[in-house]
Amino acid sequence: MTDILECETDELYDGCETVYEAFYRIKRESETLLVQMEQLAKLWEGPANRLFQSFYMTDCDRLIQLCGYVEDLGEYLQRCGESYRYCDQVILAGVQM
Is the entire prediction scored with pTM above 0.85? no
Residues 81, 16: Cα–Cα separation, whole Å: 9
Q: What is the pLDDT along the chain (97 residues), one digit of tens a residue?
A: 445 556 677 777 777 788 888 888 988 998 898 889 889 888 888 999 899 889 988 998 998 898 889 889 888 888 888 888 888 888 888 887 7
Determine the 3-state secondary structure of 3 from DSSP.
coil
Where do the domains of the chain lie? 9-92
Report whether 21 contacts 29 (CB < 8 A).
no
Give the number of other CB atoms < 10 A from CB of residue 58.
10
Decide which of 2.60.40, 3.30.420, 1.10.3470, 1.10.287 is the CATH code for 9-92. Answer: 1.10.287
